Amino acid sequence: MPYPKYRPLERRKMKTVSIKERHSLVHLKDFPRPCLPGADFRQFLDSLPPYLAARDLRELVDLLGQARKKNRPIIWAMGAHVVKLGLGPLLVDLMQRGWVSAIASNGAMMIHDFELALAGHTSEDVDGNLLQGTYGNTEETGLFLNLALKDGLSQGMGAGEAVGHYLIQAQFPHLEDSVLFNAYRLNIPVTIHPAIGTDFIHYHPMFSGEVSGALAERDFQLLASIVSELGDGGVFLNIGSAVILPEVFLKAVSYCAAQGIALQQFHTAVFDFQRLYRPQENVCRRPTARGGKGFYFVGPHEILVPLLAAMILNRHP
């Protein structure tokens, strides 16, 4: 039964406009050509449409190029999956080419990178080992890393520098692909931001909470110092960290602001397999409120990060 208060609108009274006069966001003339068999990577890039994420990725790569020309920091913050998925050598190559000013990560990345340098393999089978009492009790990793951290504390280092310094001396068989080893060799700062209890070296007999806490404090101070230089074109990339690194970055920005350091006109980007609250707010939106731009790219790290690296090197050889 019709409601008498609400009368249907008459379609014939609707005003229309010609498509010739209407403003359109998509034009056939802008469509790219297909990537044909035998095409090179630049032709593949040209086949990406000039819209949405493809447009944003091109823009980000250009901003990275501008940051390098201005000598502004390019900070790579990343979770452990970047190393676990085999992307360490790719990052090392970018470090050697001058596209990485600093690295911020968590304790898990430190562990996986260390194990790869030591043994050439990493990443335990959690499902198979957790309830058997064999998950997270690897002797060499727990012993060597905790010794490296304690030695670093005595020498005034942070955790990232301490592990890099240890690897330089250790002569492990797979150092050339280690992010921490190469960062130390290239004098690229690495900061480690652990949460006590999240890494299995935290319950090794050699672990010291006092050491881990002191090193984390030093690394936060170092990261804040690097963040303070982001203004006027720097770039902060967050790859695969849902909570810890977005929170640490936000606090570093706040710490700078509390000291009167006005961070303006810098850029941020998140790469992750889903859109999450803290990366969106603490990396993309809030820190760039005084200029600059925040980007969010959704997809697997093992595809997005190689694509980003290849675009950087092809657009800015």
- Confidence check: pLDDT of 2 > 70: no
> pLDDT value at position 280?
98
Distance set, CA 18 to CA 21, 22, 163, 308 (Å):
5, 6, 66, 41
65 contacts 59 by C-beta, under 8 angstroms? no
* pLDDT reading at 300 higher than 90: yes
Task: Tell whether the model's pLDDT for residue 16 goes beyond 80.
Answer: yes
For 271-292, the pLDDT digits (tens) are 999 999 999 999 999 999 999 9
pTM: 0.94
The pLDDT of residue 134: 84
Between the alpha carbon of residue 83 and those of residues 149, 177, 219, 240, 304, the distances in Å are 20, 10, 20, 11, 14
Nearest of 37, 35, 38 to residue 46 by alpha carbon: 35
**Amino acid, single-letter form, for residue 9:** L
Mean pLDDT, all residues of the chain: 95
How many whole angstroms from its chain centre is CA 75?
A: 8
- As a whole number of angstroms, the distance between CA 255 and CA 258 comes to 5
Output b/e per residue, 184-213; b: 16+ Cβ within 10 A: bbeebbbbbbbeeeebbbbebeebeeebbe
79, two tokens: 């979770």
Helix (H) or strand (E) holding 161: helix 159-170
> pLDDT per residue over 57-94, tens digit each?
999 999 999 999 999 999 999 999 999 999 999 999 99
Instruction: Encode pLDDT of 172-209 as tens digits.
Output: 999 999 999 999 999 999 999 999 999 999 999 999 99
Q: In this prediction, what percent of the chain has a pLDDT beyond 70?
A: 99
3-state secondary structure of 271: strand
Pick from 194, 223, 208, 113: nearest CA to 154: 208
Contact in structure between 87 and 239 (CB atoms under 8 Å)? no
Summarize the confidence of residues 103-127 as an average pLDDT. 95
Q: What Rg do the C-alpha atoms of the chain give, in angstroms?
A: 24
CA 198/CA 108 separation, integer angstroms: 8
Where do the DSSP E strands lie in 36-106? 74-78, 102-105
pLDDT above 70 for 1? no
Listed in sequence order, the residues at least 6 apart from 117 whose beta carbon sits closer than 8 Å to its beta carbon are 167, 170, 172, 174, 175, 177, 178, 180, 181
**Residue 129: which pLDDT band, with cuts at 50, 70 and 90?**
confident
Report DSSP letters for 297-317, one per residue.
EES-HHHHHHHHHHHHHHH--
- For the structural domain made of 52-315, what CATH number should be given? 3.40.50.10690
Per-domain boundaries in the chain: 52-315
At residue 70, the pLDDT reads 97
Task: State pLDDT tens for residues 32-55.
Answer: 999 999 999 999 999 999 999 999
pLDDT of 111 > 90? The answer is: yes
Residue 89 CA, distance from chain mean position: 15
**Under 8 Å between Cβ of 227 and 274:** no
The answer to whether residue 265 scores a pLDDT higher than 90 is: yes
pLDDT of residue 262: 87
User: If pLDDT is split at 50, 70 and 90, which confidence band does 117 have?
Assistant: very high
Confidence at residue 100, expressed as pLDDT on a 0 to 100 scale: 98
Q: What is the mean pLDDT of residues 286-301?
A: 96
